[in-house]
């Protein structure tokens, strides 16, 4: 009798930050008006975002990494730098 192999469905990470990640990144408590405060924080830090129908900003993980000072490595290295620059944020 053959042993069955478990099927694992790997879901790639979303290209967008979740609400919890946005709240943590901006240092905003989860309360009414949080979306507006996050949008103001994103504007102050020059991080582009899209507004969803419900008012919450949709922020690209890549744009946040770039705002933190991470750059794409050259084609020979093929990986991202690992040290974010938190001093770049207000």
DSSP for 9-63 reads: -PPPPPSB--HHHHHHHHT--SSTTHHHHHHHHHHHTT---EE-TTS-EE-BHHH
- Confidence label for 76 from pLDDT (cuts 50, 70 and 90): very low
Structure tokens at 75: 């084609």
Tokens 């790639």 belong to which residue?
Answer: 12
pLDDT per residue over 31-69, tens digit each?
999 999 999 999 999 999 999 999 999 999 989 988 888
Q: Is the pTM of this model over 0.85?
A: no
**Is residue 73 within 8 Å of residue 51, measured between CB atoms?**
no
DSSP for 30-45 reads: SSTTHHHHHHHHHHHT
At residue 74, does pLDDT exceed 70?
Answer: no
Domain coordinates of the chain in residue numbers? Answer: 19-72+80-88
């Amino acid at each position: 009798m053959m042993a069955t192999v478990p099927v694992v469905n790997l879901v790639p990470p979303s290209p967008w930050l979740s609400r919890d990640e946005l709240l943590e990144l901006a240092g905003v408590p989860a309360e009414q008006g949080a979306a507006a405060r996050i949008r103001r924080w994103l504007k102050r830090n020059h991080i582009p975002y899209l507004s969803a129908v419900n008012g919450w900003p949709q922020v690209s993980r890549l744009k946040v990494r770039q705002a933190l000072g991470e750059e794409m490595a050259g084609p020979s290295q093929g990986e991202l730098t690992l040290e974010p620059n938190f001093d770049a944020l207000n």
